[in-house]
Amino acid sequence: MLSLYRKKLGLLMMVLVSTTLLSCRYTAPSDEADPTAAPVGSDPVVLLSATPSSSVEVVEDAYPGSEIPAATPLPPTPQPAPEGLPTLTPPLPPTLAPPSVEELVLDLEKYVTEAVPTPAAADAVGFEGVKAIFLTGSPEELLFAAYSTGLRMFDPVQNHFAAIYQYDDGWQQLARLPLQNPDYVFESSMRQALLGDGQVWLEVDSGVGAHGSCYDLLRFDGAALQDEVSHCHSSPPAALGLGDLDGDGNADLLLNQTDDYVFCYACGVRLPRYTALSWDGTSWAERGWERLPEGASGAAENNRAVDLASAGLWKDAGEMIGQGDSQEPAVVWNRALIGIYVEQLAAAAAYGTYPLLDSLFYGDYEAVLKLFRGYSAAELLAVPNPLIAGSVAEGWESDLSSRIVSSAEAALEAAPELAGAHFLLGWGTYLDDPTDPAVEYEFQRAVELASSEAIFSDTLAYLRQK
C-alpha cells in the first residue's frame, strides 16, 4: 500500500509542476525605448530579444490540502544570432553622370573666352565672344571646335581664330589657327562637314568689308588645323558649300565668282560664275568641263552641251545635256554643273532687275527679241532709248554695250548662224558708236539668216535711210 501511495503522490506532483509552468504568461515589451539598447542604425543588423515578465500567476491546487511551493521563474535562454544574414551597408552617394554635350559647349565657351583679348574700352571694336560646337567623330574622344565671333579690331590687327579642344576631365587645346580674311564672324558661321575620311572638316562663312563674304574650309587631321580653301567674294555666299555633285563619292565645292557689279553693285544685275573644286583624297583640285572621245556613250550630246555652256548659251546647253541618259562620269559631272547655272540664270531671267541682260546672260535670245518686238525700228535706234531709259541700265550705256557685244560674240563662236546673236551684236555696237560699219553688217547678217523676222529687216532699212 505504501508503495502504491508513493506512486500516486509522485504522479500528482508531476501534474502540479506541469500545470504551474503552463500557467506562466508572456508580457510584450513596452513601447518605450530601452536605454541600454543600441540605437537603430548603429549596426547593420540589430537583433532585438524580448524579455519575459517576472510575474507568474499560480493556479490553485486542484487538490486541497496540498502545499505547493511557489515556482521560480526561469531566466531567458540566450538566442544565438542567425547565421548567413547579409551584411547591410549604407547606400553610396549617387554617381554624377558625365556633363552633357550642351553643358560642355557652354563650359568651353566660358573657358576660351577668358583667354580672348578684349577691347580696351567698352565702346571699342573687338570680339563679341566665343562660340563652340561639338564635333561628331571618334567615340573615344570628346572633340569640340571653338571660334571667335563679332567684328575684329584693326588697330592693332586682331585676327579671328578657330581652335580644336578635347575634353577629358578638363580642357586640352589640340590645335589653333588664326583666320586671316574675316572681318566679321557670326555665331552661326561654323559648321562641321562630314567627308567620310575620318578627319574633322569645318566650314566657316564670314563677312568682310561693307558687304563681302569669305569662306574657309578647315581640316583637322588629328595633329594640326589647316586652312585648305580660303576664298572671299564681293557678296555672300563666297561658296555654295560642300556636296557630291556627280555622286562619285568625292566631295565637291563651288566657289562663287559671280560678277556682282554689272552696272553697279546695287543695280541688282548679276552674271553667275563658279569655280569647281573636287577633293581627291589629298588635295582640292580645280575641275572644269569634261569632254568625251567620239563614239563614247553620250559623247555627241555631252560635247555639244559643253560648247554651248562655254558660249553662254545656257538654256540650250541644259536642254542638250538632258536629252540622253548616259551615266558616263563626264556626262554626269557636266549635267550637274550645267544644272546649277541653268537654275540660277533661269530664275534671274524670270524675275531679274533688267530682263534684257538677264535673258541674254541665260542665252535665251528669243526672250530678248520678244522685248525688241515691242518697239519700232526708230525707237530701237533712238537716243534716249526706250529699252534703257528709266531702267537700271540708264547712265550705264557704255557698260551695257560692252556686255551685249561680248555675250553675242561668245554665242556666235558656238552658233555662228544664230540670227538673234548677230542682231544683238549690231545693236550693242550701235549703242557705243552708231557710225561703226559693223552695225550694218550684223543687221544684214541677221536678215540673211532670218528673213521673216520683221524687226531685223525693219531696223536694217531704218538704219540705211538715216
Q: Could you report the per-residue pLDDT of 6-19, keeping only the tens digit for each?
A: 444 444 344 333 44
Asked whether residue 44 carries a pLDDT value surpassing 90, the answer given is no
Cα dihedral 319, 324, 327, 331, rounded to 10, equals -40
Distance (Å, whole) CA 173 – CA 147: 12
Cell digits for 10?
509522485
* 78-92, 211-225, 249-263: least confident range: 78-92
In this structure, are residues 274 and 252 in contact, taking their beta carbons and an 8 Å threshold? no
Q: What is the pLDDT of residue 40?
A: 35
- Treating both helix axes as pointing N-terminal to C-terminal, what angle do 329-351 and 314-321 enclose, rounded to 10 degrees? 140
Question: Is the model more confident about 76 or about 461?
Answer: 461
What's the rounded mean pLDDT across residues 316-321? 96
**Strands, DSSP E only, in 263-379?**
269-271, 274-279, 284-286
89 or 256, higher pLDDT: 256
Q: What is the pTM of this model?
A: 0.75
How many Å apart are CA 439 and CA 463, to the nearest integer? 9
Confidence of residue 463 (pLDDT cuts 50, 70, 90): very high
Question: In 96-200, which ranges are continuous DSSP H helix?
Answer: 101-113
Distance from C-alpha of 333 to C-alpha of 244, rounded to nearest angstrom:
10
Task: Please give the C-alpha separations between residue 129 and each of 214, 298, 421, in angstroms, as whole numbers.
Answer: 20, 54, 55
Residues 6+ apart with CB under 8 A from 270: 258, 259, 260, 262, 348
Strand 225-233 vs strand 184-193: parallel, antiparallel, or unpaired?
unpaired
- Given this model, what pLDDT does residue 394 score? 97
Q: What is the mean pLDDT of the chain?
A: 82
Grid coordinates given for 338: 550645267
DSSP 152: P
pLDDT at 71 (0 to 100): 41
Burial call 27-41: b when 16+ CB within 10 Å, e when fewer: eeeeeeeeeeeeeee
Q: What pLDDT score was predicted for residue 16?
A: 38
> In this predicted structure, what is the pLDDT of residue 37?
39
The arithmetic mean of pLDDT across residues 397-407, rounded, is: 98
Per DSSP bridges, beta strands 252-256 and 274-279 are antiparallel
What confidence score (pLDDT) does residue 112 get? Answer: 92
**Smallest Cα–Cα separation from 220: which of 112, 275, 141?**
141
Residues 6+ apart with CB under 8 A from 422: 408, 412, 442, 443, 445, 446, 449
Percent of the chain with pLDDT over 70: 76
pLDDT in tens, 152-197: 888 788 899 999 999 998 999 999 999 999 999 999 999 999 998 8
For the chain, give me the number of helices (H) and strands (E)?
12, 14
- Please give the pLDDT value at position 400: 98
Domains of the chain, with CATH numbers?
101-288 (no CATH), 369-465 (1.25.40)
pLDDT tens-digit readout, 322-364: 887 889 999 999 999 999 999 999 999 999 999 999 999 999 9
Distance separating alpha carbons of residues 445 and 355, to the nearest angstrom: 25
Kindly report the number of other CB atoms within 10 A of residue 249's CB atom. 8
What integer pLDDT is reported at residue 55 of this predicted model?
A: 34
Compute the average pLDDT of residues 28-33.
Answer: 41
User: Above pLDDT 90, what percent of the chain?
Assistant: 67
Tell me which residue of 255, 259, 217, 218 sits closest to 239, measured CA to CA.
Answer: 255
Residue range 223-281, pLDDT digits in tens: 999 999 999 999 999 999 899 999 999 999 999 999 999 999 999 999 999 999 999 88
Can you give the pLDDT at residue 139?
67
Measured CA to CA, the distance from residue 76 to residue 152 in angstroms comes to 90
Are the CB atoms for 113 and 131 separated by under 8 Å?
no
Range with the poorest average pLDDT among 22-26, 294-298, 383-387 = 22-26
Nearest to 195 by CA among 115, 250, 270: 250
- Is-contact 200 219, C-beta < 8 A? yes
Q: CA 424, CA 422: separation in Å to the nearest integer? A: 6
User: CA-based diameter of the chain, in Å?
Assistant: 180
- Which pLDDT does position 84 carry in this prediction? 36
